[in-house]
């Protein structure tokens, strides 16, 4: 590898990542565009998270950028067309986080439907002697619609079958490798299902896909789970539907404008909220941290990527 190529770190790095990176690279932490301008021409690589991506105004001031290594699977906040045009390579940590993200969809669904958070609060508030905790809802025989049927969507479907739930999915094309039913019409899926789980990639194609019409179709007994991206849901439509109880509840790991989420979510009782934690386990974050650095080392050693997107 040429001596210590300069990297820009957009998100804060874990200790372990810093230690490995500093052996082979000169790492600059992004603080502001103004500060970046003073060393921009040196930057050859970027390390970033799926939620942060690479803002266009950052990519535009890096004339010598060659590679972007994403600590996650989402590339919705990177202009891939522009990267292709400039011959900038992009890698993700694909296959490291599928199971944990699928688990989070199940955790949110069960927590919401069985009222785990509200019941926890009920016990802690000392209400057990004087009141009756509300009933939850069975999973068994419920119908689940999965929106987006890539690796994560399919891993969710496998888990659901164990609970005796019926699964169908909406996707850009049928996945013939899966026994689940393909439903090419999102509205028909929302009509059919009791629980709608979002596992679709972010970006313009899925932006506001879950709008007021889809939420009303899901209906007052329907639950929404989002482990995909906040942008997939029209949030003001969702907040209205939750507030007016036009859907039964929502389990949300992702939001528009994270971490500055719309404060209206905070007072809604029919929600379970997580701070974008689906891949946040000790094991998965260690595997991601390893792969995101391995991709940079591979690129600067012999111009290959272990898990390339482009």
> Which sequence positions are flagged as catalytic?
229, 258, 276
- Looking at 22-30, 49-57, 122-130, 168-176, which segment touches ligand 8YV (CB under 6 A)? 49-57
State the first-to-last Cα distance of the chain, in angstroms, to the nearest integer: 21
Distance CA 304, CA 66 (A): 12
Q: By C-beta, is 215 or 305 nearer to ligand 8YV?
A: 305
Are residues 167 and 151 in contact, defined by beta-carbon separation less than 8 angstroms? Answer: no
Starting from the edge strand earliest in sequence, which strands make up the sheet with 6-9, in order? 26-29, 6-9, 43-49, 67-71, 89-91
CB-nearer residue toward ligand 8YV: 194 or 253: 253
Q: Does 148 bind ligand 8YV (CB under 6 A)?
A: no
Three-state DSSP at 147 gives strand
Residue 74 contacts ligand 8YV per CB under 6 A: yes
Q: What is the CA radius of gyration of the chain?
A: 21
Per CB under 6 A, does 115 bind ligand 8YV?
A: no
For ligand 8YV, the binding residues in 270-289 under the rule CB under 6 A are 276, 279
72 is a site residue for ligand 8YV (CB under 6 A):
yes
Q: Can residue 153 be called a binding residue for ligand 8YV (CB under 6 A)?
A: no
User: What DSSP designation does 134 have?
Assistant: P
Choosing from 43, 46, 54, 73, the residue that interacts with ligand 8YV (CB under 6 A) is: 73
Pick 217 or 279: Cβ nearer ligand 8YV: 279
Closest of 239, 252, 241, 120 to residue 197, by C-alpha: 252
Q: Please identify, among the stretches 23-31, 48-56, 183-191, 230-238, the one whose residues bind ligand 8YV according to the rule CB under 6 A.
A: 48-56
Phi, psi of 207 (to 5 degrees): -60, 130
Among 5, 45, 49, 145, binds ligand 8YV (CB under 6 A): 49
> What sign results for the dihedral spanned by CA atoms 210, 215, 216, 222?
positive
Nearest distance in Å: CB 73, ligand 8YV: 4
CA–CA gap between residue 224 and residue 210 (Å, rounded): 10
The footprint of ligand 8YV (CB under 6 A) covers 11, 49-51, 71-74, 97, 276, 279
């Amino acid at each position: 590898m040429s001596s210590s190529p300069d990297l820009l770190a957009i998100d804060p790095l874990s200790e372990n990542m810093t230690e490995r990176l500093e052996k082979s690279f000169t790492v600059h932490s992004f603080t502001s565009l103004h500060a970046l301008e003073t060393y921009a021409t040196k930057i050859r690589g970027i390390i970033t998270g799926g939620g942060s991506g690479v803002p266009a105004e950052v990519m535009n001031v890096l004339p010598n950028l060659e590679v972007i290594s994403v600590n996650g699977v989402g590339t919705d906040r990177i202009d891939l067309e522009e990267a292709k045009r400039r011959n900038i390579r992009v890698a993700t940590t694909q296959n490291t986080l599928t199971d944990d993200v699928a688990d989070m969809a199940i955790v949110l669904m069960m927590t919401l439907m069985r009222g785990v958070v509200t019941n926890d609060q009920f016990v802690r508030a000392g209400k057990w002697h004087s009141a009756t905790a509300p009933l939850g809802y069975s999973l068994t025989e419920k119908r689940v619609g999965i929106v987006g049927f890539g690796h994560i969507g399919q891993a969710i479907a496998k888990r659901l079958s164990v609970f005796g739930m019926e699964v169908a999915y909406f996707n850009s094309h049928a996945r013939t490798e899966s026994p689940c039913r393909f439903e090419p019409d999102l509205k028909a899926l929302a009509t059919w299902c009791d629980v709608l789980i979002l596992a679709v990639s972010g970006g313009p194609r899925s932006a506001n896909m879950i709008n007021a019409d889809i939420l009303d179709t899901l209906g007052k007994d329907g639950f929404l789970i989002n482990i995909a991206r906040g942008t997939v849901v029209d949030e003001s439509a969702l907040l209205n539907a939750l507030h007016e109880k036009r859907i039964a509840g929502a389990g949300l790991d992702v939001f528009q404008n994270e971490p500055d989420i719309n404060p209206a979510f905070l007072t809604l009782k029919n929600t379970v909220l997580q701070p974008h934690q689906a891949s946040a386990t000790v094991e998965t974050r260690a595997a991601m941290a390893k792969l995101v650095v391995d991709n940079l080392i591979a690129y600067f050693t012999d111009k290959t990527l272990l898990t390339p997107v482009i």
